[in-house]
Structure 1
Amino acid sequence: MKSLLIVILNLITFVIMPATALAQQSILQDPVAFEKEHFTKTCDGQVSFGDHFATEQDINNDTLTDIVINEGEITCKGEKGPYCTDEGCPYNFYVHVAEGGYLMIATAQIYGYDFIQRFGNMVLVMKMHPHFCDRTGGDPCEITVRVRGVKFVTISKK
């Protein structure tokens, strides 16, 4: 009887959990408007967005324009970059999908990034806190990633 109950619970978990995960991955028509609405509510309407809050660029080499949101460009209740720490500021990466709309594929706490060409593909070189490269101090860690479809693939860390 116990083993039958365990089997039923496992089946329920395998059926329900993927649906829950999929619900968290919803496609947005306008991620910039979505993010601005979120922070307007969070900051009780006392919010402004800097010129580099949203950057449009093709980060996954599919010719569709993607969007990168820099939360360091938010001023909330008079405080610039309220979600930034000594590890950098949150950046949200949205990929434009062929079906229409945008899918958030990653959030990273970084100091910034460069978008450069390597071996014929554009890649992100993210500047991050040294502990992301297993160091306790020194220069920022540089993690180079290529975005393939809707996934970040790490190429190198230094």
Structure 2
Amino acid sequence: MKSLLIVILNFIALVIMPVVAQAQQSLVQDPVAFEKEHFTKRCGGQASFGDGFATERDINNDTLTDIVVNEGEITCKGEKGPDCTDEGCPYNFYIHVAEGGYILVATAQIYSYDFIQRFGNMVLVMKMHPHYCDRTDGDPCEITVRVRGVKFVTVSKK
């Protein structure tokens, strides 16, 4: 009886869990409007967005234009970059998928980022707080990632 119950629970978990996981990655039709609406509500209608708030760029080398949102370009109730700290500002990375719409695939607390070409592919070099490279001080940590599909793959840290 006990083993039958375990089999039933395992079956339910196998059927339900993929549906739950898929729901967490829902498509957003317009990430810029989505983010602006969120911060406008959060800031009680007193939000403004700088020119560098949203950047369109193909970050995963699939020829579709993706979007990077820089929360440091938000002014909320007179405070610029309300979620920025000494570790940088939150950046949200949205990947444009072939089915239509965008998926938020990563949020990173970074100082800045650059796109450079390495071995024929564009890679993302993020400048981050030194502790991300297991250092306590000194120059910012540089983490290089290649975005494959909807996954960030770390290439190097220095």
Q: For 1:101 and 1:30, how far apart are their aligned partners in 2?
A: 7
Q: Report the CA distance between 1:80 and its aligned residue.
A: 0.7
Please give the secondary structure, in 2, of the residue aligned with 1:60: coil
Are 1:48 and 2:48 matched, yes or no? yes
Partner of 2:75: 75
Q: After the TM superposition, which residues 1-158 of structure 1 pair with which residues of structure 2 at under 5 Å, given as runs?
A: 1-158=1-158
Residue identity over aligned pairs, in percent, reads 85
Q: For 1:38 and 1:9, how far apart are their aligned partners in 2?
A: 38
Aligned length: 158
Q: For 1:11 and 1:84, how far apart are their aligned partners in 2?
A: 44
Q: For 2:150 and 2:138, how far apart are their aligned partners in 1?
A: 32
Please give the secondary structure, in 1, of the residue aligned with 2:3: helix
Q: For 1:136 and 1:65, how far apart are their aligned partners in 2?
A: 36
Please give the secondary structure, in 1, of the residue aligned with 2:135: coil
Please give the secondary structure, in 1, of the residue aligned with 2:62: coil
Normalised by the size of structure 1, how large is the TM-score? Answer: 0.95
Q: Report the CA distance between 1:136 and its aligned residue.
A: 1.6
Q: Report the CA distance between 1:6 and its aligned residue.
A: 2.6
Consecutive aligned runs of 4 or more in structure 1 exceeding 4 Å deviation: none
Moved more, 5-14 or 96-105: 5-14
Matched AA of 1:27:
L
Gaps of 5+ in 2: none
